[in-house]
Structure 1
C-alpha cells in the first residue's frame, strides 16, 4: 500500500504522538502497582506496609503520583505524598504536596524541595515503605549539593557539562559525586525502611544507576571517574574551585563515596522498570505500519553528536532507497548530544533535524522524504519545541526568509531557522520522558512536491 506524500508530515506527527502515548506514566504505574485489603503489590513484590511514604520526582512525577494515590488506601499513607516536577508539568495531585523546580538547570526551588525530601526521609523507620516514583529529569529537579558546594557552583558545573558534548551517563557520574541524594544517596537516607522504586527510563540501556542519577541504587563510579570526565572534555580548569576541591578530596578518600553494590542499605530495596524508550520505539513501528508504511528499525540505541548522526542517517537512507519500492518508515530512538560552539538557541532534536535537511541536500537525497526528531517530554533544550519536522523544502523556506541554514547550524541556532520554515515540532509538555524518537518517511516512487 502506497502512502500519499502530501500527508507525510501529518503521518510523522501522528506516529510520534503514538510513541509518546506508549510512555503514559499514569497507565504505567497502574500496570505495576496493585492493592487489596491486605497487601500492596509492586511488580512481583508484596507487603503489608501500613506506613507508606510516597515520593515522586521527574517530568512524569505528577501523573505517576496521581496513579499511585488512587491505588494506595489513604489510611496507609504516612502523611501526604511529595511530588517534585518541572514547572511546565505541575498539576494538582490528591493527597500530595507538589513542588515545582528548575530543569535542565537546578534552581533554589529544587534545592528547597530536596531539603524537604531529606527531612521527610529522616522520619522513616524499619517496617515502613518508601515508595519512590522516578522519571527523567530527576537529576536537575532535586539538587542537594554536598557539604562545601554551593548551588551556584553546581549550576555552573552542570552548564559546562551540558555544553561539553558529554553523554548523560558521564554527566550523571559527576553529579552523583556532588550530591547527597544521587548515586544511592536517597536509599542511604531512607534506611532502615523498606524501599521500592517504580522507574520510567529516559536512558538508552535502562541503566538504573543513570536514570535521575540513580538515587535509589548502587553507584559503582568513583570520585576519580568524575574528575576524569571533566578532564576528558577539557572543562576541569573551568570548574568552580569548591567543586574541584570536593572531588579531589573524594579521590584521596577524604569524602564519603557513594554507596556501592553489596552495601547493606540495599538489602531491603527493590526496583521495577515500568517504561522505556525501547517500548515507545516498538509502538512507533506499529503505528507506522498501520498507516501503510513498510517499517525498518534503524536503531534503538541512537547516540552521538546530533549533526553527525543526521549525516549518517542520510547516507543510510540513500542506501535503503535503492532497494525499496513502497513508502517506508525508518525508525530510531535514543539520545544524541550537542557540543556547543555557537551562541544560538535550540536543542539536540532541532539541531539533528536541521542537520538532516542540510545533509540530504548535500548528499542528493532526491525523492520525497519527511524527517521528524523529537523529545518525548515535549521540550528540546531550553525551548518550547519538542524538536523539528523537516522535508525536501525546509531549506528553501529558510532561505526565502533571508536566513542561511548552514550558518545557523554552525551557531547552534536551529530554533529560529526551523521557526522561519514553520518546521518546529510543537506539542507542549507531555508529562512523560523516555528520551527521543526519530521518524524518517521515505517515498521512493515520488518526486518532491513543488513549493
Structure 2
C-alpha cells in the first residue's frame, strides 16, 4: 500500500516538472527568436535610419535629402539592408550597386524572405559573386562598378555604404597591374605560412584600391555614411570587410616586413613588387 501511495504522490510532481520544462523550452525558443529578429538585416537598418521629411538622422547626425543619395553595399546581409534603406529614403535614392553572395536572391525566394529582396523597380543594381565565399571575376566586376559610382560623386552628394560580414571577398579590387589571381596567391601563401589576421589585412589593404579607406577616398568630396553590421568580436571597423571606409595608414615598409617574416619576398609577382615600391600615396584617391 505504501508503494502505491508513493506512486500517486510522484505523478503530480512529474506533471509539474514537465510543464516547467515545456515552459523553459518555450521561453528559450522565444529568446532565440527575439535575438535573431533583432539582428535581421532589415531590422537593424530600420532602427538605425530615422526619416524626417526631407532628411535622415543616423547616429544623431542629420543629413539633408535632395535626390542626392547614392548607395553601395557588399556582404552577406547587404541585400536585406539595401531593400530596407531604399524603402526609407524613397525617390531620394539616385542610384545604387550592391555586391552579394552568389545565389542569395534565389535562396531568399525559396525561404519566403521576399521582404529582404529589392522591388522590381528598384534603383539598386544587384550583382552576385564570390562563389564559395572566395573573390572571383564576378565580385571584381561588382567592385569596379562600386568604385566607378563612388568616383563620380560631388560635394552635393551623399553616399550610403552598407557593409556586413563577407564583404571583403565581395569587394576585390587589386591595384593595377596586380591581377586578382596574383593577389589571392599572395594572401593564400601568407595564410598557409601562419600569418595572423592582422598581418593578412595589412598586406591585403596595401594591394587593394578600395580596402583600408580606399572607397571613402574614391567618394571624396561626397559625404560618406557607413552602416556596418559586424560579425567580428569587438567590432574592429578596420577588420570588417577590411575597412573600406576606415582610414588606414598603409606603409610599404610594414607590408614588406610581414612578407619578409614569412620568407615570401623572393617569390612575389613583379606586379606586387611594383605596387609596393611606389611612393606612399596615403590620403589621396587610389
Q: Bin the TM-score by the shorter chain.
A: 0.7 to 0.9
- Relative to structure 1, the CA distance from residue 32 to residue 243 in structure 2 (aligned partners, 3 Å threshold; closer, same or farther) is same
CA pair 89-231 structure 1, distance change in 2 beyond 3 A: farther
Q: CA RMSD in A?
A: 2.9
| Corresponding residue number in structure 2 for 1:84 | 99
Normalising by the residue count of structure 1, what TM-score does the alignment of the two structures yield?
0.50
Q: Deviations over 1:30-69 (max 9, x none)?
A: 1111212121111211111221001111111101111111
Larger fraction in helix: 2
1:228 Cα deviation after fit? 2.4
Contact 1:145/1:179, CA 8 A, preserved across alignment: yes
Q: Indicate how the Cα distance of structure 1 residues 98 and 191 shifts in structure 2: closer, same or farther if over 3 A, else same.
A: same
Which structure 2 segments of 5+ residues have no match? 1-16, 109-116
Provide the C-alpha distance between the structure 2 equivalents of 1:245 and 1:164, rounded to a whole number of angstroms: 23
Residues 246 and 122 of structure 1: CA distance in aligned 2, closer, same or farther (over 3 Å): closer
The alignment status of 1:66 with 2:83, answered yes or no, reads yes
Aligned pairs, how many? 247
Q: Which residue of 2 aligns with 1:28?
A: 44
Counterpart position of 1:231:
260
TM-score, normalising length from structure 2? 0.76
The verdict on how the C-alpha distance between 1:241 and 1:20 changes in structure 2, with shifts beyond 3 A counting, is farther
Superposition map of 1:92-241 within 5 A? 92-94=117-119, 95=122, 96-102=124-130, 104-241=133-270
Larger Rg: 2
Distance 1:99 1:164 in 2: 33
Query: Of 274, 278, 281, which aligns to 1:245?
Result: 274
Query: d(CA) in 2 for partners of 1:60 and 1:162?
Result: 26
Q: Would the alpha carbon gap of residues 223 and 137 (structure 1) be closer, same or farther in structure 2, given more than 3 Å must change?
A: farther
Q: CA deviation at 1:129?
A: 0.3
Q: Distance in 2 between matches of 1:104 and 1:163?
A: 18
User: How far apart are residue 119 of structure 1 and its match?
Assistant: 1.5
CA displacement 1:264-292 (0-9 Å, x = unmatched):
x9xxxxxxxxxxxxxxxxxxxxxxxxxxx
Answering whether residue 61 of structure 2 is matched by residue 45 of structure 1, we say yes
- The alpha carbon displacement at 1:158 in A equals 2.9
Change (3 A) 1:93 1:158: farther
Query: Is the 8 Å Cα contact of residues 37 and 43 (structure 2) preserved in structure 1?
Result: no
Note closer, same or farther for the CA distance 1:175–1:20 as it changes in structure 2 (3 Å cut).
farther
CA contact 1:49–1:128 (8 Å) conserved in 2 = no
Give me the whole-angstrom Cα distance separating, in 2, the residues matched to 1:89 and 1:18. Answer: 23
Cα 1:240/1:149, change in 2 over 3 Å: same
Tell me, which stretches of 5 or more residues in structure 1 are unaligned?
Answer: 266-451
Contact 1:173 1:213 in 2 (8 A): no
Aligned-partner SS, 1:73: helix
**1-side partners of 2:247 and 2:176: how far apart?**
21
